[in-house]
Chains A and B, each alone.
Chain A
Amino acid sequence: MRILIHDRNEEFGQALKEKYDRIIRADGKYAPCQGCFHCWTKHPAACGMKDSLHEICRVIGQADDLVIVTENWYGGYSPAVKNILDRSIGTSTPMSTYRAGEMHHTLRYGRHSSWSVLVYGETAENEKKTWKLLAEKNAINDGFRSSEVSFIPDTEELEARAQ
């Protein structure tokens, strides 16, 4: 399954709907993660907060290829996109293992294929360095086999690059 998470407008997602099995628009109309771990210990793979991200980890968990379109915020995701990722830790289980020589949680949905990030907005060289590390770490953490980051200064090109 191919899933897109983006923080652009509604039309952006509409234009790409043929290319993805699922499109998640990061509109920011949801609460941030409260760090309660109930998506592991109380109601597995579901959040206690009943907003649009209530079962988002069950959706993201289905992804073979995950594409994220985000504005650059200090070498990391925009708040609306990061909020979705923070609320998605139920894609893993509470039990621990080793991956890439580090401690991580075991994967509820098994291994995935590719984690791709398309970054728009002015991005300094130090931020690009952070992005590469961040995407690589995200891919390991969430069990994706590869990670890729592309920087798209011109937002006009975003749609074509996200195809």
Chain B
Amino acid sequence: MKTVFIDCSPKKRLSASGFIAGFTAAFVAGKKKKEKLRTKADYGRVLEAVKDADSVVFSMPLYVDGVPSHVLPFLREMELYCKESNPALNVYVIANNGFIEGRQNEPLMQVMENFCARSGISWRGGLGIGGGVMMNVMRIMLTVFFGLAILNTILAVVREGSFQAGPLLGFGKQALEVLFFGCGIVAFDLWLAFCINRQKPFGKRYTRVMLPSFVFILFADIFFVIASFFQGGMFRGWLAKKKPAD
């Protein structure tokens, strides 16, 4: 069994789509291939990888309620290939959006289902994740915290001459907190991986970061205030009704 994971984020690295594709792949058995679909230059390579696959998993961000524009021409190329070669291909989709409600991915899921119908390949369902940006920030922070915990442990050994469990225990607590906020994502993702392994339908499922939406909005606002402060947008008419130059 060969499964191709297509990371459709336009970002070069550290994308939420790439992370969740990799996380899912870790629980999928058989031959696995991960491909990035960022530009037209990637189309030929990704299509080649799809040709002998049993299942394809598209992982993508939600852009303006739908599939990002750079992915659409690839879908058309894949449709033409599928109509010509009639492969027995299972398609799964993982979509993530910045808003808290995973259900906001529904139009994207329908577009991907319609793509499968036109291409004559099997739509096996999709997972819509709300709070994708926060999920991504949490996992990056967790990696940083892990690095700091290791560093502090080594420093303690050098300074005190003995092993101190404190930094690693602190990291364990942080990991458990992240796992709590991401428990819905992890649970649904494991279920998706189970379905991919058995090439079974997953249906359309929606999950989110486990926070009440008003708390999530507060965190999202703080995130953008900090980002806009350091990137300077806050001092360039941050919320102003900007007029076009011409």
Contact = CB atoms under 8 A, between A and B. Distances in A.
B104 interface: yes
B101 A102 contact: yes
Contacts of B65: 134, 137-138, 141
Contact of A35 (B11, B66, B113, B228): B11
Interface string B5-25: 000011100010000000000
Interface in B182-225: 213, 216-217, 220-221, 224
Interface residues of A, number: 56
B135 interface: no
A119 to B, nearest CB: 13
Contacts of A34: 10-11
Contacts of B169: none
A80 to B, nearest CB: 8
Contact of B242 (A44, A78, A82, A141): A44
A32 B68 contact: yes
Interface in A2-33: 32-33
Contacts of B10: 32-35
Given A74-B75, A129-B110, A46 B242 contact: yes
A88 to B, nearest CB: 8
A102 B224 CA distance: 19
A47 to B, nearest CB: 12
Interface of B: 9-11, 15, 61, 63-70, 72-73, 75-76, 99-101, 104, 106-107, 110-115, 117-118, 213, 216-217, 220-221, 224, 227-228, 231-233, 236-245
